[in-house]
A and B are shown apart, each in its own frame.
Chain A
Amino acid sequence: MFNANMVALQTIVRKEWRRFTRIWLQTLLPPAVTMALYFLIFGALIGARIGEIAGFSYMAFVIPGLIMMSVINNSYSNVASSFFSAKYNKSIEELLVSSTPNWVIVLGWVLGGALRGLCVAVIVSMVALFFAQLPWHQPLLMVLVVILAAVLFALAGLINAIFASSFDDVSVVPTFVLTPLTYLGGVFYSIDMLPGFWRDLSLFNPVLYLVNAFRYAILGVSDVNIVHALLGMLLAIVVLAGFALYMMAHSKRLRH
């Protein structure tokens, strides 16, 4: 039974891997181009006039946040669009009618999305190397944070896709929730630069913790407590995974 489930898991992940690598022009190249432009404009051109933040050049300061932004967007949108498309063209029924248990379906889709997030992280990191020297403070922590972030947002994308009843529903969350949270999550600035109220308000933004944990792993500086950030990510993953499993079993949007 375990072996059968592992084969099913491998099949789902391989299918997703083949899908997003086949359409690499839509999935892997755009983040590299977008981030290169960010590095060039915000880092090299504008950043040169801003000076140092927390002892690092502005370019070095924004790189971890921009990598994390790519991971969040790509993990999320991979699962949201792929799962919703499967729901839309009913090919999700191939899985739902099979002997694959719900936990394997959730895990498979989340790993597929996380895999794209990790691929994008590697690509964007390589692009970043052309623009700045980074100290890579704690490489293992960096890998851990990027994996947790990719899994967390792949889960969120899956839940979005289960709820969604149109392609508009899939694009609403990235546009109106993820992007504002990311831009206001300390990617481009330290929250220490904000006035008291806005600084305190920022502490309710979950993306702030991801960005700062990742920045700490690369640069060794952070606006938040790293242990709290890691625990928060783990807790969020557990909660979202439980919810995704519940939805997979009971949602009328999948099984009437």
Chain B
Amino acid sequence: MSYALELENLNKSYKAGSRALDDVSLKVEAGDFFALLGPNGAGKSTLISILSSLVQKDSGCVKIFGHDIDSDFAAAKRCLGIVPQEFNFNTFEKVRDIVINQAGFYGIRAARAAERADYLIEQLGLWPKRNEVSRYLSGGMKRRLMIARALVHKPKLLVLDEPTAGVDIELRRSLWQFVEQINAEGTSIILTTHYLEEAEALCRNVAIIDAGRIVKQSDMRSLLAGLQRESFVLDLSREPELASLPSYCDAKILEGVRLELSLAKGQALNELVLELDRQGCKVLSMRNKSNRLEELFVNLVGAGVEHV
């Protein structure tokens, strides 16, 4: 088995005394589309910053495609592309220059760098803006510029740290398509995101990190299969009497004629629908309340979590 990323007993504490990573061990298979989830302050950014050498680990081992980041620095780095959460390019430079220079930092000669930069700029829909100074780009374009920059040296592992934060739905979907395409072409991807439906839709495997520790690592399918409850929202023609509804579902009224239900996975809904019908409530529409991963996440890292 070849691994895109191997972390062994990774530890990091900051001067203030907070332990950001506590003996983290993790393996991501080559070719995987992997989600790294956790609440704010869980250690995701510290972990990614250690991969990118912006944070120095206290102890532990990091290998990227088998290359140790300490003893085989250049080879490890050539396998890795990182799209950070915050914009970190020179806003006075032109789009094309930023991508070409990044290729140069990886030792790619000017002609080849220009060719590769033009290809990525076009692929990511930045071609009309290629000669614009980067500070004039919209937020979504800046995000795409960072993806182009991270891919210019053809990394085998791409780490996307919340790539769709603050990005509109249309652009988010186009970015999803793009990263799915490069994953299909063989690039391993690690994704952190606030949008759990994004992880559920894109990723095959997932690790959940909380308080600096990996609390769960699994493939997405079996993780979701382990869920015991599901939630639905029903739009009704009139407000129902909650006390008469079947006891197997926890129900509450949302905004008058909207009913939220939580019930055991696999539970038949016939009895509920019959009772609503008896009360004269027509079921006008029905949908899942939220993505299932969110429920699982809250179960794993605590009900108090507001952000992922």
Contacts and interface: CB of A to CB of B under 8 A. Distances in A.
A49 interface: no
Contact of A15 (B14, B101, B107): B101
A86 B106 CA distance: 18
A91 interface: yes
A256 B49 contact: yes
Residue among A85, A94, A98, A256 facing the most chain B CB atoms (10 A cut-off): A98
A3 B101 contact: no
Contacts of B49: 256
Contact of B105 (A3, A85, A94): A94
Contact of B106 (A12, A91, A99): A99
Nearest to A23: B92
A255 B12 CA distance: 13
In the complex, which of the residues A14, A86, A94 has the most CB atoms of chain B within 10 Å of its own CB atom?
A94
Contact of A1 (B52, B74, B104): B74
Contacts of B104: 7-8, 10-12, 14
Chief secondary structure at chain A's binding surface = helix
Interface in B84-129: 84, 86-91, 93, 98, 101-102, 104-109
B73 A97 contact: no
Nearest to A250: B56
Interface in A50-79: none
B55 A255 contact: yes
Interface residues of B, number: 33
A109 B62 CA distance: 29
Contacts of A94: 88-89, 98, 101-102, 105, 149
B66 to A, nearest CB: 16
A7 B74 CA distance: 14
Contacts of B107: 3-5, 7-8, 99
Interface in A193-209: none
3 nearest interchain CB pairs? A4-B107, A11-B104, A99-B77
Interface of A: 1, 3-5, 7-8, 10-12, 14-15, 85-86, 89-91, 93-101, 250, 255-256
Given A94-B105, A95-B105, A98-B102, 20 more contacts: A1-B74, A4-B106, A7-B104, A7-B108, A7-B109, A8-B105, A8-B106, A85-B90, A89-B89, A91-B93, A93-B84, A94-B98, A97-B54, A97-B77, A99-B105, A99-B106, A250-B56, A256-B49, A256-B55, A256-B56
24 contacts: A3-B107, A7-B104, A7-B108, A8-B105, A12-B105, A15-B101, A89-B88, A89-B90, A90-B88, A93-B84, A94-B88, A94-B101, A97-B52, A97-B54, A98-B153, A99-B74, A99-B77, A99-B78, A99-B106, A99-B107, A101-B74, A255-B54, A256-B14, A256-B54
